Amino acid sequence: MSSEILRIVVTGGVGAGKTTFIQTISEIDVVDTDKRATDELAEFKEKTTVALDFGKLTIASNQSLHLYGTPGQARFDFMWDILIEKAHAYILLVDAHRPNQFRHARKLLNYMNQSASIPELIGITHTDCADAWEIEDIALALGFQDETNLPPIITVNPNQRESVFQALITIVEQLESSREREMMG
């Protein structure tokens, strides 16, 4: 029996939790391209991803997930093309307490959906912050007006293995049901 690799892209704005998400679950040391932030980001975070993060998780004896984290800054958006091209699914992380990032998250969402027709999951992070928005309001800010066409939207704590694992289970289930629909024609 051959081994199947499912490529999952983890994307989102700066500080949404992409690198932490992958580090929390990866069974290998995460390959990262973090560099010291030298622009306006330096006030917000010490390091930023400039190319990609890579992690791996075996989910069955013949199936593993390869997790690719995108850079959050728009100036590195050329990496989005490279990473989404071979992806089977993607997870968009949205920081619930930074509404100034919602426009960028919506841009990412639109870009990913125009670039690839693959299953998606919206993971809402930082929901424990005092000024966090409600999931319904974030969904509206991302442009989801119609509840019948919503991708799964769940809260995710990138620091908690169980939370990250649940997000990955959800996206793999999306992928499997998408494959079943394709097979049925």
Express each pLDDT in 90-107 by its tens digit: 999 999 999 999 998 998
What's the one-letter identity of residue 140?
L
Q: Which of 33-47, 49-63, 69-83, 154-168 has the lowest mean pLDDT?
A: 33-47
Which residues are CB-contacts of 158 (< 8 A; sequence separation ≥ 6)? 17, 18, 20, 21, 24, 93, 125, 164
pLDDT number for residue 51 = 57
Nearest to 8 by CA among 104, 182, 25, 77: 25
Give me the half-sphere count of Cα atoms (radius 13 Å) on the Cβ side of residue 91: 33
Full strand arrangement of the beta sheet holding 89-95? 31-36, 47-60, 63-69, 4-12, 89-95, 120-125, 153-155
pLDDT number for residue 182 = 81
